[in-house]
Amino acid sequence: MKILVCISKTPDTTAKIAFTDNNTKFATDGVQWIINPYDEWYSLVRAIELKEKDPSTVLHLLTVAGAEADPIIRKALALGGDEAIRVNADSQDSFYIATQIAEVAKQGNYDLVFTGRETIDYNGSSIGGMVAELLNLPYVALATKFDLNGTTATITREIEGGEEVCEAALPLVVSCQKGMAEQRIPNMKGIMGARTKPLKVVEPAAADTLTSIAGFELPPAKAGVKLIPADNPAELVRLLHEEAKQI
């Protein structure tokens, strides 16, 4: 059993969102970087749990990024995983990134590829689906539960207004979200061990870039809150009905 977990580095959830170079680049000054929460809390931790159940499982982490992502990969390795691979490329195009991941997945013959449901910076929700298509494998998106019985997976996924349970044989690509696992904090042993785990750097495969970011904008500022006295909530209902016209 071989699992590949895709990891992305994202700005910390409290990072100030600002842009430089005439609003074409995210201002990274003073920004703390973290493992994308969907990748860490849900997909990586679930993969680690699967390995704990079946210790013969080989668990590899993969990121497509420059060397500045190395501390994030080490952080992920401190949680678990046998080794990490970094495809040495910097791209904002999902097709380019997915092509790199699919290339690594093909060469490594993985049974299972996990991604997070989206990154909290680009909010693309695209990588898992593209990788699945490039590998011609089934894809289950927005999974909230994942269990294995031999080579058959039982997966629960979100649907509008509920959930759906399905079964599929490996190999598979799955995107993970809340419910898959609980957040873990790396322990000292994990952190020490991560330093010596292999981190392979490979050069990117040739791939097309199909999109480019022309610029960023911030949403217009809110006009400010209209406060209604606590002893007169009926006034709020009137405003929502007559002024905001929402109820």
Partner 1 sequence: MSVLIYIDQAEGHVKKASLEALTYGAKLAAQLGTTAEAVVLGTVTEDLAALGKYGVKKIHHVSNDTLNHFDAQVFTGVIAQAVTAANADVVIFSNNVDGKALAPRLAARLKAGLVTGAAALPDTSNGFVVKKTVFSGKAFANVAINSPIKVIALNPNAFKIEAGEGTAEVAALNATVEASKVKVTQVNKVTGEVPLSEAEIVVSGGRGLKGPENWGMIEELAHLLHAATACSRPVADVHWRPHHEHVGQTGLAIAPNLYIAIGISGAIQHLAGVNRSKVIVVINKDPEAPFFKAADYGIVGDAFEVVPKIIEAVKKLKGVA
Ligand X SMILES: Cc1cc2nc3c(=O)[nH]c(=O)nc-3n(C[C@H](O)[C@H](O)[C@H](O)COP(=O)(O)OP(=O)(O)OC[C@H]3O[C@@H](n4cnc5c(N)ncnc54)[C@H](O)[C@@H]3O)c2cc1C
Contact residues for ligand X (CB under 6 A)? 13, 37
Lay out the site mask for partner 1 across 92-111 (x = CB under 8 A, - = otherwise). Answer: -xxx--x-------------
Q: How far is the CB of 13 from ligand X (least distance, A)?
A: 4
Helix (H) or strand (E) holding 8: none
Q: Which does 98 bind (CB under 5 to 8 A by kind): ligand X, partner 1, none?
A: partner 1
CB of 230 to ligand X, least distance (A): 10
d(CA 93, CA 119) in angstroms, rounded, equals 13
79, 23 Cβ separation under 8 angstroms: no
Whose tokens are 């949680």? That residue is: 79
State which of positions 136-175 bind partner 1 (CB under 8 A). 136-142, 144, 154, 157-169
Q: Interface with partner 1 includes 13 (CB under 8 A)?
A: yes
Closer by beta carbon to ligand X, 24 or else 183 = 183
State in angstroms the smallest separation of the CB of 185 from ligand X: 12
Single out the residue of 19, 70, 184, 190 in contact with partner 1 (rule: CB under 8 A).
19
Answer yes or no: are the C-beta atoms of 59 and 51 closer than 8 Å. yes
Least distance in angstroms from the C-beta of 33 to ligand X: 13
Compute the radius of gyration of the chain from its Cα atoms.
21
User: Does residue 32 belong to the site contacting partner 1 (CB under 8 A)?
Assistant: no
Q: Letter for the amino acid at 199?
A: L
Contacts of partner 1 in 170-209 (CB under 8 A) = 178-179, 208-209
- DSSP assignment of 89-104: -----HHHHHHHHHHH
Q: Name which of 138, 142, 150, 132 is nearest 57 in CA terms.
A: 150
Going by the DSSP 8-state scheme, the letter that residue 239 receives in this structure is H
